[in-house]
Amino acid sequence: MADPPACCAACATCLLCPYSCRWITAKKEKRKGLRTTKCDCSWFLFLFCVFLFTLVWLYIAIIILNDLHNFNEFIFKQRKLWLDWSKVLLIATAVLITYSSVLLVLALCLQLCGQPLKLHWLHKILLILTALVVAAAFTGLGIKWAEEWRSARISLQATGPFLHIGVVGGMTLLAWPLASFVYRTHNTGLKVFLLLVYCTVMIALYLAPLAITSPCLMEENQLPPKPALVGHRGAPMLAPENTLMSLHKAVDCDVQVFETDVMVSADGVPFLMHDEELTRTTNVKAVFPERAALNSTAFNWTDLQQLDAGSWFLERRPFPTVQSLSAGDRHQATEQRIPSLGQALEAAKQSNISIMFDLRPENHSDYQSFVNATLAVILQSGIPLQQVLWLPDGFREQVKQQAPGVKQVYGRKRLQDEKEPLLHVNLPYQDMSSEEIRQYRQDNISVNLYVVNQPWLFSVLWCSGVSSVTTNACQVLKEMKQPIWLLPSSTYLMIWIVVDCVSFLTILWAFLLLKKCSHRRLPAESETDVLLTKINSLMQE
């Protein structure tokens, strides 16, 4: 590689020291005759790959924040340890991406200044560890949480157009160090290889919008109505889940349906509870320490009424929003008790909202008696039956006969040989594509998807035409008056053409400018080489 171009010695030293951990000036480094070797180039390529690898993980980490509360609950169920893993995930990812990006910026700046890319052995070890940590994270995600790959695919519908612009911009900036390297190296084969790879990548990026699809690429007058909100266990970011306080907070968020889970006590009283055990959302360990590990259905109603169902919410802070609660809300949370289904039905009737629930545990030996007890409470409550949405599949035909006015909601897609048409379906948001949502909407089938917390996901489903979404963040989605972005196809086409043209012209300018600069340096560099050769000959004599 040729000698370095003119560059501020102080700047070169500041770049060289943290990258190479060589605390000497750039001039001394130059006098030592150090050059960037093939091994150094290989480590730079590895650094670039680690940066891209970590950047992709950062994107995935942001996407899975929508579902991370489910992961928190899963870990608690397995280890009885509550921790907000979103903070751990974001902090660890931020450290990894910051480290790799700083090293990459240093390397690119050193290349532009003509300094040798002598990566220190400590950085090499840390880069290998970074790659291993991210690889382990991807592997664990694929094994234990594979549905998040479908979430990532859905996210591309929301971010695809903007990711394209960002990647084109990043690759365009990369033209400067690439041109600098090409004009300095004397290895023709390496030059040709790098230029071919770069040109191939840029052509693919310029044509990438042909494969980018998003339901939000539409005219504003084509936008479907805003999806209705279904409160997942009420408003769990504002109040303890599955409590009357949570139901009322959900009503304040304009939800149309209160979604909950029902279990039946040992003496036949249906009550609201999601977990099979009471340890996460009550103080059962303090009140009944010897029975804390028992199934919720093993407790009678009198025992259940002794439990505090709200203080855990303030102690564990399952969502960051808990910190912003008012003093009155905090006091109200500490007074919450486990509500019966009858109490919830009465509150729903007074608030004029529907209630949708699952009946747990479905594998219980007395499940039919659970269905009978639940139906009896519904019929005695006086709530209009059309406000009750029935989710359980067990003994559904019996429910249809005894309470024909109850809306039947199915947790599956329709079949080709369906005996009677499905009118309401309730599915994970990963299980339905935008095309399927549109088709169900055309066929007058109400589609509710869960659990949708992030505005970007809500925007994609809104543009797709979903009927309603189940959410933890009703207070956030309530404020959305339109999707995060909405672009007519013609506008996106114009943006695509402008971005590609600006990128192409910038790359062309970078190569032409650096070529001109390299020609100016050649005479001076030749004279320097001759002088150094003479000095070396005199010293040998």
- The rounded distance, in Å, linking the Cα atoms of 266 and 92 is 45
Sign of CA dihedral 410, 414, 415, 421: positive
Q: Is the pLDDT of residue 11 over 80?
A: no
Per residue in 64-106, pLDDT (tens digit) is: 999 999 999 988 988 888 888 988 999 999 999 999 999 999 8
pLDDT at residue 6 in the model: 45
Of the pLDDT bands very low, low, confident and very high (cuts 50, 70, 90), residue 19 is: confident
Q: Is the pLDDT of residue 193 over 70?
A: yes
Sign of CA dihedral 74, 80, 84, 89: negative
Percent of the chain exceeding pLDDT 70 equals 90
Q: Is the pLDDT of residue 9 over 70?
A: no
- Whether omega before 451 lies within 30 degrees of 0, making that bond cis, reads yes
Q: Which CATH class is domain 228-271+337-478?
A: alpha beta
- Strands 388-390, 270-272: pairing is unpaired
Q: Is the pLDDT of residue 529 over 90?
A: no
pLDDT at residue 66 in the model: 95
Q: Is the pLDDT of residue 7 over 80?
A: no
Asked whether the beta carbons of 247 and 350 are under 8 A apart, the reply is no
pLDDT at residue 390 in the model: 97
Structure tokens belonging to residue 7: 């560059």
Residues 152-157: what's their mean pLDDT? 95
Residues 6-31: what's their mean pLDDT? 60
- The rounded distance, in Å, linking the Cα atoms of 388 and 368 is 19
Residues 230-236: what's their mean pLDDT? 98
The chain-wide mean pLDDT, for the chain, equals 90
Per residue in 350-398, pLDDT (tens digit) is: 999 999 999 999 999 999 999 999 999 999 999 999 999 999 999 999 9
Residues 191-209: what's their mean pLDDT? 95
The better pLDDT of the pair 6, 44 is held by 44
Residues 267-283: what's their mean pLDDT? 97
Per residue in 495-509, pLDDT (tens digit) is: 999 999 999 999 999
Q: What is the pTM of this model?
A: 0.89
Q: Is the pLDDT of residue 34 over 70?
A: no
- Strands 270-272, 257-264: pairing is antiparallel
Asked whether the beta carbons of 312 and 283 are under 8 A apart, the reply is yes
Question: How many of the other CB atoms lie within 10 Å of CB of 222?
Answer: 10
pLDDT at residue 250 in the model: 98
Rounded CA Rg of the chain: 31
The better pLDDT of the pair 340, 523 is held by 340
pLDDT at residue 361 in the model: 93
- The rounded distance, in Å, linking the Cα atoms of 94 and 57 is 10
- The rounded distance, in Å, linking the Cα atoms of 254 and 251 is 5
pLDDT at residue 24 in the model: 52
Domain positions in the chain = 14-214+488-521, 228-271+337-478
Percent of the chain exceeding pLDDT 90 equals 75
Structure tokens belonging to residue 149: 């790959």
Residues 176-184: what's their mean pLDDT? 87
Q: Is the pLDDT of residue 229 over 70?
A: yes
Question: How many of the other CB atoms lie within 10 Å of CB of 384?
Answer: 11
Q: Between the CA of residue 465 and those of 22, 225, 228, 489, 510, what are the distances in Å?
A: 59, 7, 11, 18, 45
Per residue in 412-461, pLDDT (tens digit) is: 999 888 878 899 999 999 999 999 999 999 999 999 999 999 999 999 99
Q: Is the pLDDT of residue 335 over 70?
A: yes
pLDDT at residue 40 in the model: 87
In 223-312 the beta strands, taken as DSSP E runs, fall at 228-232, 257-264, 270-272
pLDDT at residue 36 in the model: 75
pLDDT at residue 521 in the model: 55
pLDDT at residue 189 in the model: 87
pLDDT at residue 114 in the model: 72
